[in-house]
Structure 1
Amino acid sequence: MSDSVPGSDEGGAATRPVPHDLNGRLRLSIDGPLAVVTVNNPPHNLFDEDMWQAWFAAVDWLENNAPRALLIRAAGRVVSAGVDVRIFRDTPADQVERYWRRNLRIVQALERLPCPTVFAAHALTLTAAFEIALACDFIVAVGSARFGLVERRVAFTPAMGGTQRLAERAGVSRARELVMTGSLYRASTLADWGVVNALFEPATFADAARELALGLANGPTRAHAGTKQVIREYCRGGVVAADAVLPAVAHRVSGTADHHRAVAGFLAHGPDHSTEYLGR
């Protein structure tokens, strides 16, 4: 892994320092065209104030140094046991709205990234970690990994956007069920619901998740950004809103180097051409 990330702008690669260790809670590294964020706050990868600050630093760097894809994963036996419950006790009542409005910016920033994002869950993934996963384009997991929005156990409701993003993926009935019961659901069940995109075997999970993310990172980066914009508009306003932006998106993507190279490759070698995408 390197200390710089290839830029996807017309200027090509740029050297940008990577803040490797973020508050002792996250590690940020570069794997070719891929940025990797690793949650690393043993033993339970809890979301405490240092974890929030680490995520603010990570998304700030990612927004200013957009990679061609992002992989989020975790070290340890669990992905995360969720929010440190002491936060609920210690946050002053008059600061609660501001506190969660601030934290919600993390998932909103991840959704705005103009590149594919992949969340890899190898084990238990609760509350804030699950909500971050729901902000990503892809969630991959081992079949036995368990997910939950379990805030009902402290008479709370998910405050990192998980309820609405789960409803977006699985429908409002499933969102009500998962949040109101506070139950844990296996990844295999969430795959049936359309929440988890792919299930990988435990023995090869890390490699399979990386392979998927790298494949996306080596794809037509600007076209992927266009796809994400169209989907965002659809989620905001349905087909009419998506149709309204689509011609401009198509115009922008048609001017990219990757589009020109891919069209030339297709015409010369057919649909199985092996043109290398440059991310610009």
Structure 2
Amino acid sequence: MSGTEPTRLERRSTDAGAELAVLTLANPPLNLFDQPLFDALVADIAELTARPPRALLLRAEGKVVSGGVDVHVFDGLTVEQGAQLWRSLFETIIAPLEALPCPVVFAAHGLTLTAAFEIALACDIILATPTARFGLVETVVGLTPSMGGPQRLAERAGSGRAREFVMTGDLYAATTMAEWGVVNGVHEDVEAAAQALVTRLADGPTRAHAATKEIIGAWRSGGVAHADSVTPKVSGALFGTADLRGGVRSFLEQGPGKATYTGR
């Protein structure tokens, strides 16, 4: 995309030749989720779905990750239009982002409100700086977060924490989010930590990472018994991959930690 677009999608290669992607929110001054930003994000995720990388980093530039949603998006909507808005955002952003067959990392360097935090919760791993703060503040306009934030927050932190977080509309520090199990790691230099992690994941066994996501997705939708029921097929398919065959042979011949992966 051009430099005037509210998002920027870049593809890069690791030293080992694995492709990773970096999706940046670039809608100054506050990275507000207005209609152009939503539209750009939908287009970027559609492109990533059509041609998945081996790992994806979501980040933002500017003073904050996002100041939230531009309230003009909600102004004057009817009941059906409101419901259709959320259906559309689930179908075009949240669901396809979670369905990407690769690890997805979110890096938060500052204030991360509403839609940005809900998108973060749809990622596999969240990293943050010590000064980052998170909030679902939709109650300020009489709304509840509706891009999947409450339920995904409850999955990570428990239903009581999710109720508190949403109902108070307060801002919570990255350290608190880490204590709750929402943020995976707190780093002074979150950009460097996120880039290193995404590079490591991109160089890894991509099909195995996708299988991990599929098994955990089965647990999310149907519990342990359902996850157990799909694991033999999902994990069994990995024995047909070049990465598993090569990884096993490398382990037997050279010991652990020497394998290289191609994502196939």
**TM exceeds 0.5?**
yes
In structure 1, the residue matched to 2:259 is 275
- Pairing partner for 1:28 from 2, 9, 13: 9
Conserved in 2, the CA contact under 8 Å of 1:22 and 1:57?
no
In structure 2, the residue matched to 1:7 is none
In structure 2, the residue matched to 1:242 is 227
Secondary structure of the corresponding residue to residue 204 of structure 2: coil
CA distance, structure 1, for counterparts of residue 9 and residue 187 of structure 2: 24
State the Cα distance separating 1:23 from its structure 2 match: 7.0
1:228 pairs with 2:209:
no
- Correspondence list, 1:137-176, <5 A: 137-176=124-163
- Pairing partner for 2:28 from 38, 42, 45: 42
CA distance, structure 2, for counterparts of residue 102 and residue 93 of structure 1: 14
Size of the aligned set, in residue pairs, is 258
Secondary structure of the corresponding residue to residue 200 of structure 2: helix
State the Cα distance separating 1:237 from its structure 2 match: 0.7
In structure 2, the residue matched to 1:87 is 73
CA distance, structure 2, for counterparts of residue 90 and residue 144 of structure 1: 36
The Cα offsets for residues 143-164 of structure 1, whole Å up to 9 and x where unpaired, read as: 1100000001111000111000
Conserved in 2, the CA contact under 8 Å of 1:123 and 1:145?
yes
State the Cα distance separating 1:82 from its structure 2 match: 0.6
Q: TM-score, normalised by structure 1?
A: 0.90
State the Cα distance separating 1:93 from its structure 2 match: 4.2
State the Cα distance separating 1:248 from its structure 2 match: 0.5
CA distance, structure 2, for counterparts of residue 264 and residue 21 of structure 1: 45
In structure 1, the residue matched to 2:180 is 193
Conserved in 2, the CA contact under 8 Å of 1:116 and 1:216?
yes
Q: Sort the Cα spacing of 1:166 and 1:221 in 2 relative to 1 into closer, same or farther, 3 A.
A: same
Identify unmatched segments of 5+ residues in structure 2: 14-18
Conserved in 2, the CA contact under 8 Å of 1:34 and 1:214?
yes
Identify unmatched segments of 5+ residues in structure 1: 1-19
- Pairing partner for 1:69 from 55, 79, 88: 55
Conserved in 2, the CA contact under 8 Å of 1:23 and 1:53?
no
Conserved in 2, the CA contact under 8 Å of 1:79 and 1:124?
yes
State the Cα distance separating 1:22 from its structure 2 match: 8.7
In structure 2, the residue matched to 1:117 is 104
Q: Sort the Cα spacing of 1:253 and 1:21 in 2 relative to 1 into closer, same or farther, 3 A.
A: farther
Q: TM-score, normalised by structure 2?
A: 0.95
Conserved in 2, the CA contact under 8 Å of 1:23 and 1:50?
no
Residues 22-31 or 78-87, more deviating: 22-31
What is the one-letter code of the residue matched to 2:225? Answer: V
Q: Sort the Cα spacing of 1:162 and 1:275 in 2 relative to 1 into closer, same or farther, 3 A.
A: same
CA distance, structure 1, for counterparts of residue 234 and residue 85 of structure 2: 35
Identity of aligned residues (%): 53
Q: Sort the Cα spacing of 1:248 and 1:23 in 2 relative to 1 into closer, same or farther, 3 A.
A: farther
The Cα offsets for residues 108-164 of structure 1, whole Å up to 9 and x where unpaired, read as: 110011100000000000000000000000000001100000001111000111000
Conserved in 2, the CA contact under 8 Å of 1:22 and 1:58?
no
